[in-house]
Chain A
Amino acid sequence: MNLSTTYLGFDLPHPFIAGASPLTETPDGARRLEDAGAAALVLPSLFEEEIHLESLATLHSTDSHANSHGEASSYFVEPEEFVIGPHAYLERVRRVKDAVDIPVIASLNGYTRGGWLEYARLLAEAGADALELNLYNVVTEAHLSAGEIEGRSVTIVREVKDQIAIPLAVKLSPFYTALPHFAGQLETAGADALVLFNRFFESDIDVEELAFASDLKLSDSRELLLRLRWLAILSGTLESTELAVTGGVHTAEDAVKAIMSGASAVQMVSSLYQKGIDNLARIKSEMTIWMEEKEYRSLAQMRGSMTIRTCPDPQVLFRANYMHQLRTWDQTRS
């Protein structure tokens, strides 16, 4: 079965990519994923804010007590090699890149204009084959409008694109008022692909302690439905920008749905954690069997068969969908 696909300009033998997670963090981990059959991998994000916070916290912990007492001018050694910054991440890019032959996609989450641009350039220089911008942020300021936020994002994408020669993907959250319009702007700005969708870190509440409980939960197949809808819609609105799915692909059937909805690539993380990295090859194999049973000739034949442009009932993807479900629910109840 011909499962080949192209994503971010790479000819991939199949669409299954290891998504950003600690699994892709080390050269050994990357090598294991390559051996397990991943077509490409996305490194964990470089968080500009994390670097800044660590920088300030380290300054506080090392310098606020220095030169305060006659017996100790400092409390720490600071070897030459000790540097806070993106250096360790960049080194990781280099080493992972050296360790594998599959495309290595670096991921960046900036929070200042300078950070986005500078770190994007450094990641490209470090040898990343492509860059995924992780546009995730929680906007809590009431004075900021959706237009301003989207405008900033588009500017960042344009400026980054102007600065680097490698392909650029943009990972989005689902919470945009007018996603097709925004996606179109990103396409104009130079995004080669959009990745749907980022999964948020969500805090639970410990009701005994009246505190937040932070527990990163893995995805499941139910989360895929939201992504399928937007893959299907954006496939119909974007000209050339490719789409990838991340979050909720746990079975071969999930993957088939994503491809049918227009995804060129399928990023996997949670299922690799739950069932091991061999699950990637297993799903690929199961999808192949399924496609053979259904007499598909290739992935290309299947891709985009259920988008807004091609599906038999596009109204399901619109508002009627909601109404229809309500009626269905009512009927079931009665």
Chain B
Amino acid sequence: MSTRKMSTIDGNEATALTAYRLNEVAAIYPITPSSNMGELADEWATRGRVNLWGQVPRIVEMQSEAGAAGAVHGALQAGALATTFTASQGLLLMIPNMYKIAGELTAFCMHVAARTLSTHALSIFGDHSDIMAVRQTGFALLGSSSVQEAHDMACIAQVTSLRTRIPFLHFFDGFRTSHEIQKIALLSDDDLRAILGEEDVQAHRARALTPDRPALRGTAQNPDAFFQAREACNGFYDACPGALEQVLRDFAKRTGRDYRLFEYYGDPAAERVIVIMGSGAETVRETVDFLSANGDRVGVIVVRLYRPFSVPHFVAALPKSARTLAVLDRTKEPGAVGDPLYTDVVASLHEASRTGTLPCAASPDVLAGRYGLSSKEFTPAMVKAVFDEMQKPAPKRHFTVGITDDVTHLSLAVDPAFDIEPDDVIRCVFFGLGADGTVGANKNSIKIIGDETDHHVQGYFVYDSKKSGAMTISHLRFGPRPIRSPYLIKRAGFVACHQPGFLDKLDVLEYAAPGATFLLNTPHAPDEVWAHLPREVQQEVIEKKIRFHVIDALTVAREHGMGARINTIMQTCFFALSGVLPRDEAIAKIKSAITKTYEKKGAEVVRRNHAAVDATLAHLHEVTVPAHAEGTRERQPLVSGDAPDFVQKVTGLMLAGKGDLLPVSAFPVDGTWPLGTSRWEKRNIAVDIPIWDADICIQCNKCALVCPHAAIRAKVYEPDALGGAPDTFQAVDYKSKEIPGLQYTIQVAPEDCTGCNLCVNVCPAKDKANPRHKAINMQPHHEHTDRERANFRFFLDLPEIDRAKSSRIDIKFSQFLEPLFEFSGACAGCGETPYVKLLTQLYGDRALIANATGCSSIYGGNLPTTPFCTNAEGRGPAWSNSLFEDNAEFGLGFRLAVGAHESMALRLVKQYAATIGERLVSELLSADQHTESGVSDQRKRVVALRAKIRDIDEPDAQRLYRRADYLVRKSIWLVGGDGWAYDIGYGGLDHVLSMNHDVNVLVLDTEVYSNTGGQASKATPLGAAAKFAANGKAVNKKDLGLMAMNYGHVYVASVAFGAKDAHTVKAFQEADSYPGPSLIIAYSHCIAHGYDMQFGADQQLRAVQSGIWPLYRYDPRRVLEGKPPLVVDAPGGKIRVQEYMKNETRFRMVEKIDPERFQRFAVQAQEAAVRRMAVYEHMSHLILPGASEGGE
């Protein structure tokens, strides 16, 4: 065995490194946590990296996982070595093809970062529910427990599949393995060649469909044939375990790494044995070592080949001494006898017992345990709890571990103090912000230590649900032996807090072991910092005898022109304090890593970072810790005492990072969650916030419109409402001829603002003497928070405007309407949320929103907080996310249900006409509800109706009483991104648009898959670089609007609030009032475009002015009026498309690679814009013959 090349990489890269070299085709679709595998493959292909056969694999991004599976199936049938990477819902979409691929005995290996399936809620995290959902497809399921295994099994699975013709699904735990960084031994090309049987590859190719040797597959079979033909594959499945065993032997011979189908580890005379697969097996192994050393007779069977489940191999792995097995499933199958692995084990023991192959004297007792759903932590303490349970005289036969189940009492008690981590492993925890680069620097540190020392390393990163001001926690381990601890660090020798504000929110030092080193980035000097710490922190520093160091990293960063990027500075401090490497050597390595990381971004970036590193140590100081805590300031509760009980008890704990402590009883049983909880989380993440200068304001309300977080608001109200206003509360006369005598206020929500600056940039009002000063200006958060907090509280209590009094809702009036979507976790400066907020302002009190999975479902509904909220009457948007692919259909379902309720209510109104009264009935049935006053009047009629029928003791009357609210018109909105509307959900969207039901589709078009990290969609414009279009997308964006116009009965609008906000408001109103399907395609600037989001509105304007994003409205109602249905509101042509493109990194990236290619794209984009507009211009003059009205 030669010395192997080691590399420090994560599980996704480890897998992709193998899969890439063994395949010729990969068809993929992005989905967390597997996206990186496909992205890496595409990146390597773009760079021309070749596979084992000297070819660059063809990587294609499809419209969905179903599409990817279809493409792979076809490639396999045509004789290619093909693969795909997916997870969770993506895997579900592949199921139909998986049956086909297996049924046709096709050699194939796919790789899955196992992830939770959506049930009561979506979760991006890891468990085996997706794997278990395909165990019936005929695929072999081979699991890896670690990064090294993922690298190895990717090869082993593919080799075995080629040999056996059984398709393999190779899986590993999402996030815990896919995103964990480890130092692993790499398989060389020669290794792969040696293990791969070229004759198997040839056999696969020989089965290819080819007209030169034609064959026919995919027949339809009748009862006379199907059953027998289905059984014909049995021999292949029977042979599979043995074949895998042989491959594993060959692999061990070549690499020294010995794997088994079922691998027993522990005391040979173990009485208690855990059966488990995935990363949890590593934790059990580690705990078994510890317990065995203390005399416990325990062991573990690691399941690698889960399908085909080989009973002989399983029982052969069992120690003869085994008395009790605990089978741990990382999935939940409600209603089953037990979860799947458990039932397989029970059935296996039964069979072995009946056939006399069981090695044990008596068939062991089997307990069923469930753990780790959605990446719930699985620790040695939990393993210990399971082993303890197994020796109880009457153990729980079915249990859960890792949670507290106080409802069905299934959970095991866990001793939180049980800790087995060895002292020679260096453990470090870092708290940072996403934006400060902490994770990136830690990844660099791991690589430095992994690549430059003999240490083994492990890195794992915990991220926030929020996209703005997101916190990251990095868990790093370094040690002399391979690290088998796939769980978070609880007792670290080094804790770094990169943002001083965290100390007031979180118990950072909870992670510190006694005697640990604590590094704090703080603006306070070493001799002053102590007084600024919360008392609890002081106490912990003293009690744990912590060595306390500080640095003012922000000042160092700013002095070196790096803004708030403190990552390399803090990294330097880490190396200096941790002593993992000699100080000078560490600094040299850091600088070399900086050069490697940033040299593509320019010499200046490298120079500034190097200079900052050189300046760091002079600013790093140890703090002399006093003997006593003397602070008067205590950590404040994260949620106000005014919050509802649920928010305080449940949301509050989640916000504190202690959601794991919540018992089952704390949660709703069906995933239903209260609205409006985001208002209780005061994040205070802005450095500067907008402050209003009433003297300069022209009262246009544009600031409120563009605010992505509803953190700057406008109100008009009667002057007497100002009674009791704080002294600093600003109010001026409202300039209006229509409603004179009112007061006007623009108010910031100081603790909810993200400081994005969009509002200031769109503010058109400037001080005539000093135009730099506008009607709103960014000013330091800390100088204004206290005052503005009180002002905002008063502002919220001011009466809302009477919607019914509006004769017309224009842009200005729309911003007096209460937003029912506030303080979401969307990115600072998000270009989507202003549309969502506007939707709730206009229709939130009567809207049902179906939201496709993506950014909007994450900022719309990712716990801990919920941004959709209710008005004073308790009405608000009813919001739900079903899936990514089905949102149009899901929303149509809303419409159908609402229609059914409405029909029944209308029928019953007529039935009780005599009781209700003819006039009220007539008004109820004929109400025009297209204005706010119309809706308001109808609500009053419903109240009157209810009063009349409330006491009628008849089922129909009570039915009418309950459904009477449906007499008030509901507004159905189908919201999602371009990934949904253009790609994965297009089939459904197209169908729903074709049906002429009254639904409103809002496409938040960021022109890229934003949520999963910038993969190209069919909405990506020509010339933009995106993942899977690294050199710039070579074809035009799909014209979704034109396709919808093609039906003739669909209202279509293309809007961009930053270019023409009044047009956006008008389009929303027309869409809502249109009685059929409406489609609004909304330009949404996005961080994936690559520029400072504060200029989002400017860039929208450029898009419109250039014609690359024309504004138009296609209203079928105009046909009946004898007018052309299409009105082009902004045709572009004012600037060149290139002037728009030049401002965004996504386009400029292409220029940096190949300036002439960029120029070509710029010319083509210009031509495409002109051509597209020519079509629209032509259409906008077309008067169509009148048509009879369609309808549902």
Contacts from A to B (Cβ < 8 Å): 26, 51-52, 54-85, 88, 92, 210-211
Contacts and interface: CB of A to CB of B under 8 A. Distances in A.
A152 to B, nearest CB: 20
A75 B1087 contact: yes
Interface string B1133-1165: 000000000000110110111111000000000
B564 to A, nearest CB: 8
Interface stretch (B906-914, B1024-1032, B1040-1048): B1024-1032
Given A72-B1014, A76-B1146, A88-B1152, 17 more contacts: A56-B561, A58-B602, A65-B435, A68-B435, A68-B463, A69-B470, A71-B1013, A72-B1012, A75-B1087, A76-B1025, A76-B1088, A77-B1014, A79-B47, A81-B1154, A85-B602, A88-B1155, A210-B768
16 contacts: A26-B1156, A55-B605, A58-B1145, A59-B598, A61-B1090, A62-B601, A69-B470, A70-B33, A70-B125, A70-B175, A71-B33, A76-B1146, A76-B1149, A77-B43, A82-B1152, A84-B1152
A69 B35 CA distance: 13
A78 to B, nearest CB: 6
Contacts of B433: 68
A62 B602 CA distance: 13
A85 B603 contact: yes
A286 B33 CA distance: 72
Interface in B176-202: 179
A79 B1146 CA distance: 12
A89 B599 CA distance: 17
Contact of A55 (B39, B602, B1026): B602
Contacts of B1031: 79
A217 B476 CA distance: 58
B905 interface: no
Contacts of B446: none
B799 interface: no
B653 interface: no
B463 A69 contact: yes
B406 to A, nearest CB: 29
Contacts of B461: 67
B760 to A, nearest CB: 14
Interface stretch (B437-445, B499-507, B721-729): B437-445
B598 to A, nearest CB: 7
B122 to A, nearest CB: 11
A77 B1027 contact: yes
B177 to A, nearest CB: 14
A78 B1010 CA distance: 16
Contacts of B437: 63-64, 66-67
A76 B1090 contact: yes
Interface residues of B, number: 68
B1013 A82 contact: no
A62 B1090 contact: yes
B438, B463, B1010 interface centre (most CB from chain A within 10 Å) = B463
The 7 A-B pairs at the shortest CB distance, nearest first, are namely A68-B434, A55-B602, A72-B1013, A67-B439, A210-B771, A75-B1014, A61-B1090
B619 interface: no
Interface of B: 32-33, 35-36, 39, 42-43, 46-47, 124-125, 175, 179, 433-435, 437-440, 443, 461, 463-464, 467, 470, 472, 561, 563, 565, 598-605, 766, 768, 771, 827, 858, 1010-1014, 1025-1027, 1030-1031, 1087-1088, 1090-1092, 1145-1146, 1148-1149, 1151-1156
A76 B125 CA distance: 23
Q: At the interface, is chain A mostly helix, strand, loop or mixed?
A: loop
A59 B605 contact: yes
Contact of A73 (B603, B604, B1013, B1087): B1013
Contact of B472 (A58, A60, A68, A76): A68
Nearest to B1028: A77
Nearest to B1151: A88
B1152 A76 contact: no
Q: At the interface, is chain B mostly helix, strand, loop or mixed?
A: mixed
A74 B1009 CA distance: 12
A65 B829 CA distance: 12
Contacts of B604: 51-52, 55-56
A292 B1118 CA distance: 73
Given A72-B1011, A75-B1014, A88-B1152, A66 B605 contact: no
Contact of B601 (A59, A64, A80, A211): A59
Contacts of B599: 83
A61 B439 contact: no
B600 A69 contact: no
A67 B1025 contact: no
Contact of A61 (B33, B46, B434, B1092): B1092
A74 B1145 CA distance: 13
Contact of B600 (A72, A78, A88): A78
A210 B770 CA distance: 9
A69 B467 contact: yes
Given A65-B827, A68-B463, A77-B1026, A83 B605 contact: no
A55 B1090 contact: no
B1155 to A, nearest CB: 5
A71 B1014 contact: no
B1155 A56 contact: no
B1014 A54 contact: no
A126 to B, nearest CB: 15
B467 A68 contact: yes
Given A65-B1087, A72-B1013, A55 B124 contact: no
A79 B1153 contact: yes
Given A60-B1092, A76-B1149, A77-B43, A84 B1027 contact: no
Given A55-B604, A68-B470, A76 B1145 contact: yes
A75 B1024 CA distance: 13
Contacts of A74: 1013-1014
Contacts of A75: 1010, 1013-1014, 1087-1088, 1090
Contacts of B1030: 77, 79
Contacts of A69: 434, 463-464, 467, 470
Nearest to B1155: A88
A67 B1149 contact: no
A92 B1156 CA distance: 10
B472 A67 contact: yes
A45 to B, nearest CB: 16
Contacts of B1151: 88
Contact of A67 (B124, B443, B1088, B1091): B443
Contacts of A56: 561, 602, 604-605
A58 B768 contact: no
Given A67-B439, A69-B434, A77 B1025 contact: yes
A244 to B, nearest CB: 28
Contact of A211 (B32, B771, B1026): B771
Contact of A58 (B42, B434, B601): B601
A58 B179 CA distance: 26
A65 B766 CA distance: 32
B46 to A, nearest CB: 6
A67 B42 CA distance: 20
Given A71-B1012, A210-B766, A210-B771, A82 B1149 contact: yes
B39 A77 contact: yes
Contacts of B1091: 57, 61
Nearest to B827: A65
A73 B34 CA distance: 12
A56 B1011 CA distance: 25
A61, A85, A210 interface centre (most CB from chain B within 10 Å) = A61
Contacts of A76: 1014, 1025, 1027, 1088, 1090, 1145-1146, 1149
B47 A80 contact: yes
B854 to A, nearest CB: 10
A324 to B, nearest CB: 43
Nearest to B1086: A75
Contact of B124 (A62, A71, A73, A84): A71
A71 B1011 contact: yes
